[in-house]
Amino acid sequence: MITGIKENLQKIKSTLPENVTLVAVSKTKPIADIQEAYDAGQRVFGENKIQEMVAKYDELPKDIKWHMIGHLQRNKVKYMAHFVDLIHGVDSFKTLKEINKQAKKHNRVINCLLQARIAKEDTKFGLPFEDIEAILASEELKELENIKIVGLMGMATFTDNQEQLQEEFSSLANFFNKNQENYPNLQILSMGMSGDYELAIKNGSTMVRIGSSIFGVRNYIA
């Protein structure tokens, strides 16, 4: 079967505004698929399991930027600290501290996004807005010299209801814009997946995480 990964990528890229970064979400997909996307020019890939990302990092070209987009297990941060380019799903100060500790061992500063809770369903991870503000304002954060909070991430509810999606994306975008005035390091707003990225971009997303529209449907839940 022809995978069409290259064609899918080109189609999506042609619709993205210049300021929007495409993260190709390759979780559960084999090395060959990632290599195909790489050969088509894609350099930023997202994974949601640390071990899987480490295994792929070891096998693939070293100019790939690996983004961790999944929920983080603190005890596994150490396995990716030497190479991870951006961590999207940070949802506690404890996790920030652990990332800082591991980054320090490698003399790196690791870029992080704080994950905001925007979905109405309570199954989604993420921090309430007031907790994000508390972290950004905290004195303790200044002591973490090996991490940098460069933006926010959000996952909308899994729904076709455009009004609800619109509400969730715009609430995060408004919160992001408001905080950008005080925290100019906040540059990245990561929101939008295969089913909703166009609406996310209309609402100001600067980074979309797209899996199935590039690589095809996943064979198992991840």
Ligand X SMILES: *Cc1c(COP(=O)(O)O)cnc(C)c1O
Q: Please, what is the minimum distance in Å from the beta carbon of residue 11 to ligand X? A: 14
Residue 175 contacts residue 126 (beta carbons within 8 Å): no
In the window 23-62, what residues touch ligand X (CB under 6 A)?
25, 27, 48
Q: Please, what is the minimum distance in Å from the beta carbon of residue 5 to ligand X? A: 13
- Per CB under 6 A, the list member of 6, 194, 204, 216 interacting with ligand X is 194
Q: In three state form, how does the secondary structure of 56-103 look?
A: HHHHCCCCCEEEECCCCCHHHHHHHCCCCCEEEEECCHHHHHHHHHHH
Stretch that binds ligand X, among 34-42, 59-67, 72-80, 189-197 (CB under 6 A): 189-197
199 by DSSP, 3-state: which? Answer: helix
Between 84 and 144, CB nearer to ligand X: 84
Q: How many angstroms separate the CA atoms of 34 and 60, rounded?
A: 8
Between 110 and 214, CB nearer to ligand X: 214
Question: In a 10 Å sphere around its CB, with 0-12 CB exposed, 13-18 middle and 19+ buried, how is residue 132 labelled?
Answer: buried
In the window 117-176, what residues touch ligand X (CB under 6 A)?
155
Position 69 contacts ligand X (CB under 6 A): yes
Contacts with ligand X by CB under 6 A lie at: 25, 27, 48, 69-70, 155, 193-195, 209-213
